[in-house]
Amino acid sequence: MAKQANILLIYTGGTIGMVRDTKTGALKAFNFDNLLKQIPELNLLNCTISSVALEDPIDSSNMCPKYWVQIANLIKDNYEDYTGFVVLHGSDTMSYTASALSFMLENLCKPVVFTGSQLPIGDLRTDAKENLITSIEMASLMQGDEPLIKEVCLYFEYKLYRGNRTTKMNSEHFEAFDSPNYPDLAESGVHLKVSKKHLLKADLCHQLKVRTNFSTDVGILKMFPGISEQLVQAVLNTNNLRGLILETYGAGNATTADWFVKLLIDAIAKGIHIVNVTQCVAGSVNMGHYETSTELKSIGVISGKDITTEAAITKLMYLLSFNFNRKEFKFNYERPLRGEMF
């Protein structure tokens, strides 16, 4: 008989943790101590559920590495006592946090499932209950005495995704997220259908290691027709800049103007790591495929391959904490660490 799962809910803030006062219409924080009373369907799940919240739950627009560390430490401190974790988070920056946690939680052998909602948990047409119930069910899946899922995921509107492969696509629809370059890990319908072949294979030989150092000396520059030399120069001359995500066209293409290439060469010579990611929702950077990206490759720009911008910036912040030399940094950035790229 399979071991019963023991799930810890971690509330960070966001719409899913709010209920509407029926008299005033104002939103107030949900009391997760009364979770089983408010959502009796949870009693049908084959697991036990506990909850904890950040000391000061926040709107996800205020999410930053300080809170990533708090979430990671809550998982670390409770890792031996629970078989899985469900993190309740505002949807706006959920893909950033899920990506960051995937890099922070080295040798993770248990599920960490992020979820949220578009409507508060007490609203008549809320998506919060389904997202919460199924996220807990996903985190509770066992294979013998071990959790079936052993990675950081994101569940929203009937689909479970690899967290560092997601991006928020819609601010109004319940289908708010997508994983454009990697298949869904599971789908919730009449039955839960898990695609086991797409799950990350965990290294069971090593203990969990939580990496909490991040560098915020980074930036994102999106290319657009008519971008000026002054703007690019201002970004690259930002004090203490150590890494830059360059959002280019198509398969990694950018202007070949002499001034642009020279600014990148000078920045790389100063030790700034520049990563090329595509502006396209789906697809991959393939530097050298077109003439307009060949020069970027030749001057040492790093290929982000098919990584999302959310995973690209958090991976950049994470790897900068290791103080790699340029060759080591490029090698580690261009290889998948947690299934975030091919």
Q: Which residues are catalytic?
A: 15
Task: Read off φ and ψ for residue 154, nearest 5 degrees.
Answer: -135, 125
User: What's the token pair of residue 93?
Assistant: 């920056």
Cα 123 from Cα 143, distance rounded (Å): 35
**Are the CB atoms for 309 and 168 separated by under 8 Å?**
no
> What amino acid is encoded at 256 in this protein?
T
Cα angle 44, 47, 53 (rounded to 5 degrees) comes to: 105
Rounded to the nearest angstrom, the gap between the alpha carbon of residue 216 and the centroid of all alpha carbons in its chain is 16
**Are the CB atoms for 79 and 128 separated by under 8 Å?**
no
The four Cα atoms 56, 68, 339, 309 give a dihedral, to 10 degrees, of: 90
> What amino acid is encoded at 163 in this protein?
G
